[in-house]
Amino acid sequence: MATYFEDYQVGLVERFGHYAVTRDEVLRFATAFDPQPFHLDDQAAAGTHFGRLAASGWHTCSMTMRMMVDHWQEQGMQSLGSPGVDNLLWLKPVYPGDTLSVQAEWLELRASRSRPTMGIARVRHTTFNQHEEPVARFEGLVMLDRRP
């Protein structure tokens, strides 16, 4: 079943996802996209405020995005992409062995002024680790098809 802009409401809170963070994936992502020593080397990471090998914040965002897409595709969301995010914060380190999940809170819904077949939502996404500690937060803008 498809879900459209009109199927969402301000105040809706959704909790979803289950993503197991692996050491191999942390190293692969960091090698390709964020090759800082605390993302690549146990000894180097041990001497930092992280205390041990930590995932890149950009990797955390990517894992969050995967959970979001999986969840909303299961719902049949008619997403048209996103023009961006605001207020991105990495609140706590993410480590190999952590398990992540996401909470999405729908903050704002408005019809597009320039495209009447599109609606725009502002959604606050918070990523949690297995201890229910928030590790990342951002507000995403989501462009959605309006009901035909």
pLDDT given for residue 133 in this prediction = 98
**Residue written as token pair 């299961």:** 74
What's the CA gap between 10 and 121, in Å, rounded? 9
Mean pLDDT of the chain: 97
What are the tens digits of pLDDT across the range 26-35? Answer: 999 999 999 9
Instruction: Give the start-end residues of each E strand in the chain.
Output: 13-20, 84-90, 99-111, 118-128, 134-145
pLDDT given for residue 57 in this prediction = 98
- The predicted model gives 59-83 an average pLDDT of 96
Q: For residue 26, how many other CB atoms are within 10 A of its CB?
A: 22
Q: Do residues 135 and 21 touch, judged by C-beta distance below 8 A?
A: no
What is the identity of the amino acid at 62?
S
pLDDT for residue 85 is more than 90: yes
pLDDT for residue 125 is more than 90: yes
pLDDT given for residue 127 in this prediction = 99
Structural domains in the chain plus CATH codes: 5-22+55-145 (3.10.129.10)
- The predicted model gives 4-12 an average pLDDT of 96
What's the CA gap between 130 and 142, in Å, rounded? 27
